[in-house]
Structure 1
Amino acid sequence: MGEAVDFRVLGALDLRHGGMAVELGTPKQRTILALLLLSPGRPVTVTRMVDELWPGEAPHSAVANVITYVSRLRRILAGVGCALTRRDSAYVLETSAETIDFHRFAGLTGRAETALRAGDLTESARLWASALDIWRGKPFEGVATGPELEAASAGWQEWRLTAFESHAQVRLRLHDTGDLIATLLAHTRAEPLRETGWLLLMEALRAGGNSAAALQAYEQARLALAEQLGTDPGQRLRALHQEILTDDGRAPVVPAQLPFDGYGFVGRRGELRQLDTALSRGHSQPTAVLITAIAGMAGVGKTALAVHWAHRVSGEFPDGQLYVNLAGFTTSGCPVQPGDALKGFLDALDVPADRVPSDVDGRAALYRTLLAKRRMLIVLDNAASAEQVRPLLPGTPGCLVVVTSRSQLPGLLAAAGAEPLMLGLLSVSEARQMLAERLGAGRVIAEPQAAGEIIDRCVRLPLALAIVAARAAIRPAASLALLAAQLREAGAGLDPFEAGDAATDVRAVFASSYRTLPPLQARLFRLLGLHSGPDIGVAAAASLAALPLAQTSRLLGELAQAHLVTEPAAGRYGMHDLLRTFAGETAAATDAPSERHDALRRLYDHYLHACESGATAINPLRVAVADHDPLPAVVLFEFTSAADALAWFRDEHAALIACVHRAAAVGLPAHAIRLAGALATYFDRRGHWSDWVSTQQAAIEAARAAGDRIGQAHAHRRLARALTRMSRLAEAHAQALAALELFTHEADCRGQANTQLDLALLLEQQGRFAEALGYAQAALSVFRRGDDDAAKANALNSVGWAYSLVGDHRKALIHCQEALEVLRGLDNRDSEAHTWDSIGYAHHHLGEHDEAVACYLVALELFRELGDRFYEARILVHLGEARHAAGQHGEAALMEALSILDDLGHPTAAEVRGKLEAARGDRSRAIVGLPLLRQRPMA
Structure 2
Amino acid sequence: MEIDIRVLGALELRRGDVVLDLGTPKQRTVLALLVVHANRPVTPARLVEELWPVTVPNSAAANVTTYLSRLRRAVAGPGCSLDRRDGGYVLRVRPDAVDAHRFTDEAERGDAAWRAGVPETAAHHWRSALAGWRGRALDGLPTGPELDAARAEWTERRLAVVEHHARARLRLGRSAEVVAELRRHTLAEPLRETGWLLLMAALWQSGHPAAALDAYEQARAVLGDQLGVDPGPRLRSMHQAILAADDGSVRGLLADPAEDPAAAGPTRSAPAQRVVPAQLPLGVPGFTGRSAELARLDAALARAAAQPAAVVISAVSGMAGVGKTALALHWAHRRSARFPDGQLYVNLRGFDPTGAPASPAEAIRGFLDALGVTAARVPDGLEARAALYRTLLAGRRMLVLLDNARDADQVRTLLPGSPGCLVVVTSRSRLPDLVALEGAEPLLLDVLDRDDARRLLAGRIGHDRVSAEPTAIDEIVADCAGLPLALAVVAARAATNPQFTLSRFAADLRAAGLDALTAQGRGTDVRALFSWSYRQLPPPAARLFRLLGHHPGPDVSPPAAASLAGVGLSDAVASLTDLTRANLLTEHAPGRYALHDLLRAYAAELAAAPADDEVGADGMVGGPAAAGGSRRDVDGAAALERLLDHYVHTACAAAMLLTPHRTPVALDPPAPGVYLRPPTSADEALAWFAAERATLVAAVEPAAARGLHRYTWPLAWASTAFFARQGHHHEWAAIQRAALRAAEAAGDRVRQAEAHRALLRAYGRLARDTEADQHAERALALFAELGDPRSQAHTHVNLAHALSHRGRHRDALHHNQRALQLYRATGDELGQAEALNSVGWQYGLLGDHRQNLAYTREALALLHRIGASARAANTLDSMGHAHHHLGDLDAAVSCYEEALALVRAAGDRYNEAEIRTHLADALDAAGRPDTAREQRDQAESILAALSR
Contact 2:255 2:264 in 1 (8 A): no
Per-residue displacement from partner, 1:669-713 (whole Å, max 9, x unpaired)?
Answer: 342332222212212212222222232233323333343332222
User: The residue matched to 1:785 in structure 2 has which SS?
Assistant: helix
Match of 2:212 in 1: none
* 2:927 aligned with 1:889: yes
Question: TM-score, normalization: structure 1?
Answer: 0.72
Match of 1:650 in 2: 690
C-alpha distance in structure 2 between counterparts of 1:215 and 1:478, whole Å: 55
What are the equivalent positions in structure 2 for 1:585-604 lying under 5 Å apart? 585-589=605-609, 590=611, 592-604=632-644
2:449 aligned to 393, 410, 427, which one? 427
1:563 positional shift: 1.2
* 2:507 aligned with 1:476: no
Distance of aligned partners of 1:161 and 1:817 in 2 relative to their CA distance in 1, 3 Å threshold: same
Contact 1:703 1:709 in 2 (8 A): yes
Distance of aligned partners of 1:704 and 1:891 in 2 relative to their CA distance in 1, 3 Å threshold: farther
Match of 2:135 in 1: 135
1:405 positional shift: 1.2
1:397 positional shift: 3.3
Per-residue displacement from partner, 1:859-882 (whole Å, max 9, x unpaired)?
Answer: 333233333333334334545556
2:323 aligned to 296, 301, 314, which one? 301
* 2:547 aligned with 1:527: yes
Match of 1:784 in 2: 824
Distance of aligned partners of 1:254 and 1:765 in 2 relative to their CA distance in 1, 3 Å threshold: closer
1:547 aligned to 552, 556, 567, which one? 567
What are the equivalent positions in structure 2 for 1:645-794 lying under 5 Å apart? 645-794=685-834
What are the equivalent positions in structure 2 for 1:191-206 lying under 5 Å apart? 206=237
User: The residue matched to 1:378 in structure 2 has which SS?
Assistant: strand
Per-residue displacement from partner, 1:232-266 (whole Å, max 9, x unpaired)?
Answer: xxxxx87x435x46876997753322212121222
Contact 2:916 2:938 in 1 (8 A): no
Contact 1:544 1:603 in 2 (8 A): yes
Contact 2:842 2:852 in 1 (8 A): yes
1:276 aligned to 298, 304, 313, which one? 298
Match of 2:937 in 1: 899
Distance of aligned partners of 1:347 and 1:702 in 2 relative to their CA distance in 1, 3 Å threshold: same
1:825 positional shift: 4.9
1:181 positional shift: 7.0
User: The residue matched to 2:523 in structure 1 has which SS?
Assistant: coil
Match of 1:448 in 2: 470
Q: Which moved more, 1:518-527 or 1:161-170?
A: 161-170
* 2:370 aligned with 1:348: yes
User: The residue matched to 2:295 in structure 1 has which SS?
Assistant: helix
1:505 aligned to 512, 517, 525, which one? 525
Contact 2:368 2:389 in 1 (8 A): yes
What letter matches 2:136 in structure 1?
A: R
Q: Which moved more, 1:710-719 or 1:511-520?
A: 710-719
User: The residue matched to 1:392 in structure 2 has which SS?
Assistant: coil
Q: Which is bigger in relative contact order (C-alpha 8 A, separation at least 6)?
A: 2
C-alpha distance in structure 2 between counterparts of 1:349 and 1:852, whole Å: 82
1:376 aligned to 390, 395, 398, which one? 398
User: The residue matched to 1:288 in structure 2 has which SS?
Assistant: coil
What letter matches 1:494 in structure 2?
A: L
Match of 2:556 in 1: 536
C-alpha distance in structure 1 between counterparts of 2:180 and 2:648, whole Å: 71
Per-residue displacement from partner, 1:536-568 (whole Å, max 9, x unpaired)?
Answer: 211111121122222222321222122111111
What letter matches 1:182 in structure 2?
A: R
CA RMSD for the aligned pairs? 4.3
1:812 positional shift: 5.0
What are the equivalent positions in structure 2 for 1:137-152 lying under 5 Å apart? 137=137
Per-residue displacement from partner, 1:903-927 (whole Å, max 9, x unpaired)?
Answer: 3558999xxxxxxxxxxxxxxxxxx
C-alpha distance in structure 1 between counterparts of 2:659 and 2:255, whole Å: 70
Contact 2:21 2:74 in 1 (8 A): no
C-alpha distance in structure 1 between counterparts of 2:708 and 2:663, whole Å: 23
C-alpha distance in structure 2 between counterparts of 1:619 and 1:907, whole Å: 23
1:455 positional shift: 1.2
Distance of aligned partners of 1:714 and 1:215 in 2 relative to their CA distance in 1, 3 Å threshold: farther
What letter matches 1:712 in structure 2?
A: Q
Aligned residues: 760
Match of 1:387 in 2: 409
C-alpha distance in structure 1 between counterparts of 2:580 and 2:607, whole Å: 19
1:571 positional shift: 1.5
User: The residue matched to 1:824 in structure 2 has which SS?
Assistant: helix
C-alpha distance in structure 2 between counterparts of 1:392 and 1:766, whole Å: 71
C-alpha distance in structure 2 between counterparts of 1:902 and 1:868, whole Å: 15
C-alpha distance in structure 2 between counterparts of 1:394 and 1:162, whole Å: 31
What letter matches 1:625 in structure 2?
A: V
Match of 1:55 in 2: 78
Match of 1:12 in 2: 10
Contact 1:621 1:828 in 2 (8 A): no
1:659 positional shift: 1.9
C-alpha distance in structure 2 between counterparts of 1:386 and 1:652, whole Å: 35
Question: TM-score, normalization: structure 2?
Answer: 0.72
C-alpha distance in structure 2 between counterparts of 1:532 and 1:708, whole Å: 25
C-alpha distance in structure 2 between counterparts of 1:623 and 1:754, whole Å: 14
C-alpha distance in structure 2 between counterparts of 1:666 and 1:559, whole Å: 29
What letter matches 2:802 in structure 1?
A: L
What letter matches 2:708 in structure 1?
A: L
Contact 1:872 1:897 in 2 (8 A): no
Match of 1:19 in 2: none
Contact 1:543 1:599 in 2 (8 A): yes
User: The residue matched to 2:287 in structure 1 has which SS?
Assistant: coil
Give 1 or 2 for the bigger CA radius of gyration. Answer: 1
C-alpha distance in structure 1 between counterparts of 2:768 and 2:588, whole Å: 36
C-alpha distance in structure 2 between counterparts of 1:24 and 1:770, whole Å: 47
Distance of aligned partners of 1:303 and 1:361 in 2 relative to their CA distance in 1, 3 Å threshold: same
* 2:192 aligned with 1:182: yes
Per-residue displacement from partner, 1:117-147 (whole Å, max 9, x unpaired)?
Answer: xxxxxxxxxxxxx9999711169999xxxxx
1:724 positional shift: 1.9
Match of 2:663 in 1: 623
User: The residue matched to 1:263 in structure 2 has which SS?
Assistant: coil
Match of 1:254 in 2: 276
Match of 1:120 in 2: none
